[in-house]
Amino acid sequence: MWYWVKKIEGIFYIPLIPMYLAYWKIRNITFHFRCKSCGNPWLFLDLRTMRHGVCEGCLQRTLFSDNQTEAQKIIFEEVGLTKVKPEFDWLFERMAKKAQSGKSLDVGCQTAYMFTKFRCPRELLYGIDLTSSPLKLAAQNFPGANLCQADASLIPYRDDTFDHLFCTEVLEHIFNAESVLKDCYRVLKPGGSAFLTVPNGRGVAGKYMVAHIRFYTYKSLTKMVETAGFEIVDGKKYGLYIPFISSTSVMFSYILGRRLPFDSLLWQIRMPEGLSYNFYVECRKPVKTTI
C-alpha cells in the first residue's frame, strides 16, 4: 500500500517543483536535472533525487554494493544546514533536556543539528560522521564543539568516555548496525544514557524513503539494542503519517524555516506499530556491581 501512496504523492508534488527550484536557488542548495551516474533526465519526477543527483536505480546499486562510504557520500555529502526538522524537533528537544550535563556524543551527526537543542558548553558536545562536507558546516556553526570524520563502528574515543549518546536516523542506513551499537556501548560510561531513533521498517518512513537498507520492527530494534548490552529504559512508536498532508507540511516547514502549528501534534502522537512513522528507544549502559 505505502508503495503506491508514495508514487501517487510524487505526481502531486510535480506542480511544486518550480517553487522548490526557486527556494534551492535562493539558498544556494545544489540540485540536479540529470543523474550524475547514468545521465537519466527524469530526476525532476522525484524532488528527493534532484537533491542527490542520482536516479533511484543507480542509488540502489550503490547502496547494496561493497563501497558503503561512497553510498553515504552520494546521499549526505551535499546536505545543507537545516533550521527545523518538524518530524523530530519535539523529540530532539526532550532528549537534549535529559543530557544537559556531562559529555554527549552524536553518532552520525551530519551538520550537528542536534546541537541546536543543547544549552550546555560546546566543549561538552562531540559529533562524528562518515562524510566531510556536513562536518565542515557543523564546525562553522558550532565553534568549540568536538567534531571528527569517522566510521560509526570504529568510534575514535576511549571506553567509558561519554555520559550521553545519540544515534538518530542512522541505523537504517548501514549494514553493520550491530557493530555500531557495540561501539556505542563501549564509549558510553556505565550508567550513561543512549537515545536511538529509526523509521518504522514496515511503514512509509522505512521502506519508501531514500537510502534505507535496514528495515526494523520495534521488536527487532529493541532486541538488537539489548544484544549490544543496553538496558531499555523507555520506548515509543510514534508519528501519524497522513498521505500528502504530512509530507507537504514538512516541505513547507523547511521552506519557511519554522514549524507549522500542527506539526508537533502530528508527529509526536503515539500510534500502533502498523501505523507509526518512527521508533524511539532510550536505553542505558548498566553499572557493574562488585560483590
Residue 227 dihedral angles phi and psi, to the nearest 5°: -65, -30
Cα 74 from Cα 9, distance rounded (Å): 24
Cα 234 from Cα 195, distance rounded (Å): 10
Please give the order of strands across the beta sheet that includes 162-168: 146-149, 125-129, 104-107, 162-168, 188-199, 276-284, 231-240
Domains in the chain: ranges and CATH: 2-64 (no CATH), 89-284 (3.40.50.150)
Q: Which pLDDT does position 260 carry in this prediction?
A: 81
Cα 159 from Cα 157, distance rounded (Å): 7
CB-CB contact of 158 with 126 (8 Å):
no
Q: Which pLDDT does position 254 carry in this prediction?
A: 78
pTM of the model: 0.88
CB-CB contact of 112 with 142 (8 Å):
yes
Cell of 215: 528495515
Instruction: Dump pLDDT digits (tens) for 149-163.
Output: 999 999 999 999 999
Q: Which pLDDT does position 84 carry in this prediction?
A: 84
Q: Which pLDDT does position 192 carry in this prediction?
A: 97
Q: Which pLDDT does position 273 carry in this prediction?
A: 93
Q: Which pLDDT does position 44 carry in this prediction?
A: 66
SS3 102: coil
Q: Which pLDDT does position 10 carry in this prediction?
A: 67
> What are the DSSP E strand ranges found in 65-187?
104-107, 125-129, 146-149, 162-168
Cell of 195: 537515545
Q: Give average pLDDT by consecutive 10-residue segment, the chain, 291 residues.
A: 66 74 79 83 72 77 69 66 84 92 95 92 95 88 93 96 97 93 98 97 79 91 98 95 81 80 82 93 89 57
Nearest Cα neighbor of 215 from 121, 278, 161 is 278
Q: Which pLDDT does position 212 carry in this prediction?
A: 84
Q: Which pLDDT does position 70 carry in this prediction?
A: 67
CB-CB contact of 238 with 275 (8 Å):
no
Residue 233 dihedral angles phi and psi, to the nearest 5°: -100, -40
> What are the DSSP E strand ranges found in the chain?
104-107, 125-129, 146-149, 162-168, 188-199, 231-240, 276-284
For residue 191, how many other CB atoms are within 10 A of its CB? 12
Cα 163 from Cα 120, distance rounded (Å): 13
